[in-house]
Chain A
Amino acid sequence: MVILDGPETLTSEDQHSCEENVLAFFKHVWLSGAQAEICLQREAHLAWLKRGFTSLPPNFAGLDASRPWFVFWIAHAMEVLGDFDDHWAPKVASFLSHCQDPTGGFAGGPSQLPHLAPTYAAVSALMVAGTEEAYQVVDRAAMYDFLMRMKSPEGGFKMHDEGETDMRGCYCAIAVASMLHILTDELMEGIPEYICRCQTWEGGIAGEEGLEAHGGYSYCGLATLCIAGKADALDLHGFLKWAVHKQMTHEGGFQGRANKLVDSCYSFWQGAIFPLLHEAFRQGGSEKVPLPKDHCWFAPEPLQMYLLLACQHPAGGLRDKPNKSADFYHTCYALSGMAVSQYDVSNHTPLLGDLGNLLERTDIYYNVLLEKAERKCTFFEALPPLAVPGREGVGAVRWRQHVASLSAVEVEASPPHQAATGGYGGTASPSARDQTM
């Protein structure tokens, strides 16, 4: 006796109602033929982002220890939309300099303790600002000391002095060190072993050893190793097997863990795992694993359909899922994920809708624009080395060199009517576009 769908439980009830809400948005477009709605509302998003950049309402008081995050989320969302205006750069530099601690690292706000999460947010935001003035805000020698102080005896990094250790710490510390060209062997010591211990029986990576494989922590662990060119330490095939099943059959977006609901932020955390894995295989030697030449295993158009149809808030900003309000975190990572999905490994652009939906290309290791990663590299490479000579992570450098060696980006837009009626849920329906290996 075999039952395909056992009795309803909390998980299946939540899933059905979420699916219904999402499909209602899709059906609206299919039935009305309102294909123009598969359109990124750039102006609405930008206007909303600009308002938040300067002023936030009182109900944000609970996020007062995350202010550099707001600077990064908003600045990066703007740059991905192709509209980070130069006049913001000095303000970013000035404000973040007031969040820097004299002992190294950045805090969630002025006079708070330095913490790895706002440190990553602040350094990334300074890279987005992209000026020498912004780069020079960081006291790199003090930063290096701070990062070394955060190394935890059990492996990994503490988030702050006497604070918790989890997978976020690895990514924040190593991404920051790499962006600032102060990555060393001593900083990486023990990190691959720690991350491997957190790769779970499912294949993804957990926040701590023993916990559940999770999209956010999986990106953090994988990207850390990829930056340093050490992804081979993981079971990459097991990782990929886990990750592909996290794209939702009907909704098109990603879930963060098995049997959880779709959430737009995983468009980036899960979506960026695929090009990272592709590049990890490539750097590991493609004679060992023949790689797909123009794609990264997941389906970009359904992801974009989820984001464009179900996640754009009419008043600006993007949301986790329908019936939620827009917020800066989800706007940043929904757009970051959409950008990742719009550039494949051969510089083609699997794009849903017309060219107006195309976002700027990002660096998959740091999640700032690719051009900004190149720009900061030129600056930091020319600086004299610190007492402990550091560098940028070799994996991140090799990827940029590889991308530069490819032919220029070729834009291919898929007509919305085909993609929107393609349908990935059922058995046989016409493909959105011809996909070849």
Chain B
Amino acid sequence: MYADDGDVPYSEREDWKDVTPVPQNDGPHPLAVIRYPPGFEEVHGYFRAIQQKNETSKRALQLTADVIQHNSANYTAWYYRRRCLKDLAIELDDERIFTDKWARDCPKNYQVWYHRRWLISEISARKRAELSPEEAEKAIQSMAREELQYHLDCMQVNNDYKNYNGWSHRQFILQQFKLWHEELPFVEQLLREDIRNNSAWNHRFTVVRNQTWPLTDTVRTREINFALESIRKCANNECAWNYLSAFLGEGDGKVSWTSVPEVETLCREVLDVAEQQHTSCRFASQALADILEAKGDVTAAVAQYEHLQEIDRIREKYWRWKAELLRHKAG
């Protein structure tokens, strides 16, 4: 149903005879002038004309598809498309298919993902208006799960498990349709595949935060243990250490670095293994410094920061400053 006139120029189409295209007005001193590819200017000329007429119609909707075909980042075309879809009360299932391709092929395009988000909200609102509450809920839940699957498909097709807009869409769906409670197995699967995927680690935190907040001791312990286990499997992985410190120290939801003795034990174990292999682990040293500071052992903590200055030269200034700060605090 979209762009079915194929290659016939708009100027030769019977149903566009009443419209005079509006040329782009760059003024007398244009900059960053794009040498537009064939067809680009004509389609945009008609789009400007339709905008000026403020016309929302089937042909306007079809025209926006052509504009988007030329430039999928044209937010004005997507905006106008939504206006048409709303004004004409058009069935939105086809629209989901229309955006499938764009989100999959242009995963870094803000407009496509935002359009999809709008679409899902609009479809669920319409279902609630049209169907009985039970039927509507069923249909909406099934659509939401399709969206989660679609996000996974996009990641797999592009072999990119860190696409920011995709993750944003997933979290929107989980939030909107209250599906956080089913999400942990999905995160664990992604982390089994790539323990270094920080987007998955972040998602884990957000899932936990949306499931249980304020944190219970049980959940906190589970998450700390998850991080510790993960560190054992790959101690040079920054994500797991960061995740650990999301639950330790000072701040909302945290307990003291000294309250979980296993953390210090593991830090020392990692540092021993590293030493045996004539290497180092800046994350373990940093965590140990935090623990020593929490214990009030300033001298030992400063020694860790001095060690870090040696082994982590690119952050030398930061570690030196951390040592200074500690001495300053201790008086």
Give me the interface of A with B, judged by CB distance under 8 Å.
1-7, 9-12, 52-58, 60-67, 70-71, 74, 90-92, 94-95, 97-98, 107-113, 115, 159-164, 200-202, 207-208, 210-214, 235, 238, 240, 242, 244-245, 247-249, 252, 257-260, 289-290, 292, 295, 297-299, 302, 423-424, 426-429, 431, 435, 437
B 226-255 to A, binary, CB cutoff 8 A, 1 in contact else 0:
000001111111110011001000010000
B 49-88 to A, binary, CB cutoff 8 A, 1 in contact else 0:
0010000000000000000001111111001001000000
A159 to B32, CA, bound (A): 22
Nearest 6 pairs of A and B residues by beta carbon: A6-B234, A70-B32, A11-B196, A201-B246, A212-B202, A9-B194
From B71, B167, B313, contact of A424 by CB (8 A): B313
B318 within 8 A of A: yes
A292 to B324, CA, bound (A): 9
A4 to B277, CA, bound (A): 9
Known pairs A53-B31, A63-B34, A202-B202; A10 contacts B194 (CB<8 A) = yes
A55 to B34, CA, bound (A): 6
B269 within 8 A of A: yes
CB nearest neighbor in B for A63: B73
**By the criterion CB–CB under 8 Å, are B196 and A9 in contact?**
yes
CB nearest neighbor in B for A258: B198
**By the criterion CB–CB under 8 Å, are A212 and B199 in contact?**
yes
**By the criterion CB–CB under 8 Å, are B34 and A64 in contact?**
yes
From A61, A91, A252, contact of B31 by CB (8 A): A91
B168 within 8 A of A: yes
Residue of A54, A95, A207, A302 with most chain B CB atoms under a 10 A cut-off: A95
B195 within 8 A of A: yes
A226 to B321, CA, bound (A): 22
CB nearest neighbor in A for B165: A207
CB distance from A248 to the nearest CB of B (A): 8
CB distance from A422 to the nearest CB of B (A): 8
From B25, B234, B238, contact of A5 by CB (8 A): B234
From A292, A299, A423, contact of B315 by CB (8 A): A299
Which of B35-43, B124-132, B296-304 makes up part of the contact surface?
A: B35-43
CB distance from A138 to the nearest CB of B (A): 16
**By the criterion CB–CB under 8 Å, are A160 and B75 in contact?**
yes
B325 within 8 A of A: yes
B257 within 8 A of A: no
B312 within 8 A of A: yes
**By the criterion CB–CB under 8 Å, are B198 and A111 in contact?**
no
**By the criterion CB–CB under 8 Å, are A299 and B317 in contact?**
yes
B123 within 8 A of A: no
From A58, A66, A207, contact of B164 by CB (8 A): A207
B154 within 8 A of A: no
**By the criterion CB–CB under 8 Å, are B32 and A74 in contact?**
yes
**By the criterion CB–CB under 8 Å, are A244 and B318 in contact?**
yes
Known pairs A113-B75, A113-B79, A437-B320; A2 contacts B269 (CB<8 A) = yes
Q: Which residues of A contact B328 (CB under 8 A)?
A: 290
**By the criterion CB–CB under 8 Å, are A56 and B318 in contact?**
no
Give me the interface of B with A, judged by CB distance under 8 Å.
22, 24-37, 40, 48, 51, 70-76, 79, 82, 110, 114, 117, 159, 161-162, 164, 167-168, 171, 175, 193-199, 201-202, 205-206, 209-210, 231-239, 242-243, 246, 251, 266, 269-270, 273-274, 277, 279-281, 310-318, 320-321, 324-325, 328
CB nearest neighbor in B for A62: B71
From A66, A74, A200, A424, contact of B314 by CB (8 A): A424
Q: Which residues of A contact B27 (CB under 8 A)?
A: 94-95, 97-98, 110
Known pairs A108-B75, A211-B202; A52 contacts B320 (CB<8 A) = no
**By the criterion CB–CB under 8 Å, are A202 and B277 in contact?**
no
**By the criterion CB–CB under 8 Å, are A3 and B71 in contact?**
no
A61 to B69, CA, bound (A): 11
Known pairs A9-B195, A56-B33, A111-B22; A163 contacts B238 (CB<8 A) = no
Q: A58-B35, A247-B314, A252-B314 are in contact. List 6 more A-B contacts (CB 8 A).
A: A5-B236, A54-B33, A95-B31, A160-B75, A247-B315, A292-B321
Residue of A71, A245, A290 with most chain B CB atoms under a 10 A cut-off: A245
**By the criterion CB–CB under 8 Å, are A164 and B114 in contact?**
yes
A397 to B199, CA, bound (A): 37
A292 to B325, CA, bound (A): 10
Residue of B195, B198, B279 with most chain A CB atoms under a 10 A cut-off: B198
Q: Which residues of A contact B198 (CB under 8 A)?
A: 212, 257-260
CB distance from B229 to the nearest CB of A (A): 11
CB nearest neighbor in A for B246: A201
Residue of B32, B34, B195, B235 with most chain A CB atoms under a 10 A cut-off: B32
Q: Which residues of B contact A248 (CB under 8 A)?
A: 314
Q: Which residues of A contact B159 (CB under 8 A)?
A: 10
Residue of B34, B72, B82, B328 with most chain A CB atoms under a 10 A cut-off: B34
From A4, A60, A424, contact of B274 by CB (8 A): A4
Known pairs A4-B274, A212-B164; A244 contacts B315 (CB<8 A) = yes
CB distance from B48 to the nearest CB of A (A): 5
From B37, B51, B195, B209, contact of A61 by CB (8 A): B37
**By the criterion CB–CB under 8 Å, are B310 and A66 in contact?**
no
Q: Which residues of B contact A252 (CB under 8 A)?
A: 314
Known pairs A297-B318, A437-B324; A91 contacts B32 (CB<8 A) = no
**By the criterion CB–CB under 8 Å, are B233 and A6 in contact?**
yes
Residue of A5, A161, A207, A212 with most chain B CB atoms under a 10 A cut-off: A212
CB nearest neighbor in A for B196: A11
A395 to B34, CA, bound (A): 38
Q: Which residues of A contact B34 (CB under 8 A)?
A: 56-58, 60-61, 63-64, 67
A210 to B269, CA, bound (A): 33
**By the criterion CB–CB under 8 Å, are A65 and B71 in contact?**
yes
Known pairs A94-B27, A162-B82; A3 contacts B234 (CB<8 A) = yes
CB nearest neighbor in B for A69: B32
A299 to B328, CA, bound (A): 23
A5 to B201, CA, bound (A): 18
A384 to B242, CA, bound (A): 50
A54 to B31, CA, bound (A): 5
**By the criterion CB–CB under 8 Å, are B161 and A65 in contact?**
no
